[in-house]
Structure 1
Amino acid sequence: MPTDTPTRRVTTYDIAKSLGISRATVGFVLNNTAGQTISEATRTKVLQEAKRLGYRRHSAARTLASGRSNIVLLVLPDWPLDFSLRRNIEEASLTLDQAGYTLVTYTPHPSGQARPLWEAIQPDIVLALTSFTAEQTQAITAAGIKQLKPDANDVGAEAYTDNGPVLQLEHLAELGHTVIAYAGLNDPKVADLVESRLHRAQSAADALGVRLVHGPSIDLTEETSIAALNEWRDDGVTAVAAYNDDVAASVTGTALRAGILVPEELSIIGIDNTPLSSMFQPRLSTIDVDTAGLGRYLARLALSAIQGTPTPEAGPEMRATLVQRASTAPPQRH
């Protein structure tokens, strides 16, 4: 039986042969080589013929010629790919694409059996949402990658987004709540982030003179939510600062089904300002973090490092803001 013959890649030789000119001339045009006396008519013919034949520059050859791959590698922590993280990646990818760069994401796993992607694709820069470990920094630089962000003088993006717990505690304390529970998420993948936010919440509580109850973490089931609520109610808790909007929604739904009024008997606030928070009933108070803006800033940070331009100034996207809705109110006085 006849078999399909794979289509051969179009080369500069094919373009030169089709036009009856030298391969060097074609190369000068396609590489936009400076200092060559090539007429505009010839340049136009080469570009048109390259397009007609379907010529695509070989990425490896382009990297060797320019010293750049036009690839940005984003190393992701092993977190769930939730709404906020997806929006961050999408905006970073779009901003880089508009500048002619491709964003590639890579998540190292604890098993560490796969070859690190920075060794395989030779990106122009390696980015991360959290600070690199010393081992990662050593491995990346050993692979010949010269640009890392954040580097030793920077901080990871988590430092910008983790002001949320402080705003949560300030809001609840301002409403008059003096015994507040922190509802973490029971997920090993984000254990470090939960611990970081809890630490910030505790520091804020100490500064505000309110008591923070470290309740059991929630794994988004009815059982864990009701167990936590029972403990908190016995401890005099009148408000809950949740790790994120998903946890806030789980606690709110469970409280309402248990006959606990929200916010009359229990105020609840989340973090992330996801679509869920505005669609839930009651609508959830939350902390808005401009993850789309953070994605754009991350892309600009990468471009400035690659191109040797000044580091971009951090703008409003770095500031978390309170979004007060129906799930928080002053505590009832008995």
Structure 2
Amino acid sequence: MPTDAPTRRVTTYDIAKSLGISRATVGFVLNNTAGQTISEATRTKVLQEAKRLGYRRHSAARTLASGRSNIVLLVLPDWPLDFSLRRNIEEASLTLDQAGYTLVTYTPHPSGQARPLWETIQPDLVLALTSFTPGQAEAIKAAGVPRLLPGPDSDNTEAYSDNGPVLQLEHLAELGHRAIAYAGLNDPKVADLVELRLHRAQAAADAMGLRLVRGRSIGLTDGTPLVALKEWQSEGVTAVAAYNDDVAAAITGAALRAGIPVPDDLSVIGIDNTPLASMFQPQLSTIDVDTAGLGRYLARRALSAIQSIPPPEAGPEMRATLIRRASTAPPRKC
């Protein structure tokens, strides 16, 4: 069965041939080359014909002519693409698009068989949500990328400080809880994040004189929440600070199925303020992190690095806030 032949890219030769002028003249007009004595009438004809024929400049040629590709490459850790991370990326992409830049995401995998994307798309800047892994910054620079954020001697802790565990512990302590368990997530992809939040929760507990019980990491679809609940009951735990809302929901659901009233006998609080937290019954107390605002902030930092202008000041998007709902309450009086 016959098929249509692929459409060939329109070139400056096609425009020149159509108008009966030199290819050099077409190139001067399309590149807006300074110092050329080309009449306004000729310039207008070239631009109109280029539009009529559907001419689009080749990205490599455009980059060579301007020194910029208007592409920002975001290198993602190998994390699950959850609700919060998607919002972050979407807002960063929108902010960069409004400034005339395209955001491209790339996740290097441990196997390392594919050619790194920074070697093929000539980005103006390579951006990371966390610090670059050892050797990564050097490889990106060696590929000719002019800018990295964070730089080789800095990190992104300023933009991604995680105060959520501290707010969780403060809220539970204010309610009167003194024996609190920390519930992590048993996904190896986020092991470093789980450990970081646990470390901050432990520091907060120590500062407030609370007993933090280091519970096992929780699976979302297995029996680990129930096993953890039995251990915590034997430890006298009255509240759980969960790594995120998914873990909080898994713990709460397991507690209710086991006949443990939430929040009467067990308070549970998550992090991220995902839609799940408000849809779940009982609705989950959580820590709201403005991931959309952080995405915009990250994009503005990228633009400041590309355009060599002062970086943006951190605003309200940098502050996490407590969302009080039905899953936390003072401990039952014995």
Q: Which runs of 4+ in 1 moved over 6 A?
A: none
Residue matched to 1:210: 210
Coordinate RMSD, CA, aligned: 1.8
Q: Deviations over 1:174-225 (max 9, x none)?
A: 1111000000000111111100110000001001110100011101135100
Residue matched to 1:281: 281
Q: Is the 8 A contact 2:178 2:210 kept in 1?
A: yes
Is 1:58 aligned to 2:32, yes or no? no
- State the secondary structure of the residue aligned to 1:177: coil
| Equivalent-residue separation in structure 2 for 1:65 and 1:327 (angstroms) | 59
Q: Deviations over 1:120-148 (max 9, x none)?
A: 22211111111112311111112122211
| Equivalent-residue separation in structure 2 for 1:159 and 1:96 (angstroms) | 17
Q: Deviations over 1:7-39 (max 9, x none)?
A: 221111222232333333322332233344544
| Equivalent-residue separation in structure 2 for 1:254 and 1:222 (angstroms) | 10
Q: Is the 8 A contact 2:31 2:65 kept in 1?
A: no
| Equivalent-residue separation in structure 2 for 1:300 and 1:25 (angstroms) | 38
| Equivalent-residue separation in structure 1 for 2:215 and 2:233 (angstroms) | 11
Q: 1:159 to 1:211 in 2, by over 3 A?
A: farther
- State the secondary structure of the residue aligned to 1:105: strand
- For structure 2, the 5+ residue unaligned runs are none
- For structure 1, the 5+ residue unaligned runs are none
Residue matched to 2:261: 261
Q: TM-score, normalised by structure 2?
A: 0.95
Q: TM-score, normalised by structure 1?
A: 0.95
Q: 1:2 to 1:327 in 2, by over 3 A?
A: closer
| Equivalent-residue separation in structure 2 for 1:158 and 1:110 (angstroms) | 27
Q: Is the 8 A contact 1:222 1:254 kept in 2?
A: no
Q: 1:154 to 1:293 in 2, by over 3 A?
A: farther
**Which deviates the most, 78-87 or 141-150?**
141-150
Residue matched to 1:77: 77
| Equivalent-residue separation in structure 1 for 2:223 and 2:326 (angstroms) | 25
- State the secondary structure of the residue aligned to 1:194: helix
Output the amino acid matched with 1:192. D
| Equivalent-residue separation in structure 2 for 1:262 and 1:44 (angstroms) | 72
Is 1:234 aligned to 2:234, yes or no? yes
Q: Is the 8 A contact 2:137 2:152 kept in 1?
A: no
Q: 1:70 to 1:262 in 2, by over 3 A?
A: same
Q: 1:254 to 1:2 in 2, by over 3 A?
A: closer
Matched pairs, number: 334
Residue matched to 2:25: 25
Alignment of 1:1-334 (within 5 A): 4-152=4-152, 154-156=154-156, 160-334=160-334
| Equivalent-residue separation in structure 1 for 2:90 and 2:113 (angstroms) | 28
Query: How far off its partner does 1:90 sit?
Result: 1.1
| Equivalent-residue separation in structure 1 for 2:332 and 2:40 (angstroms) | 79
Q: 1:158 to 1:330 in 2, by over 3 A?
A: farther
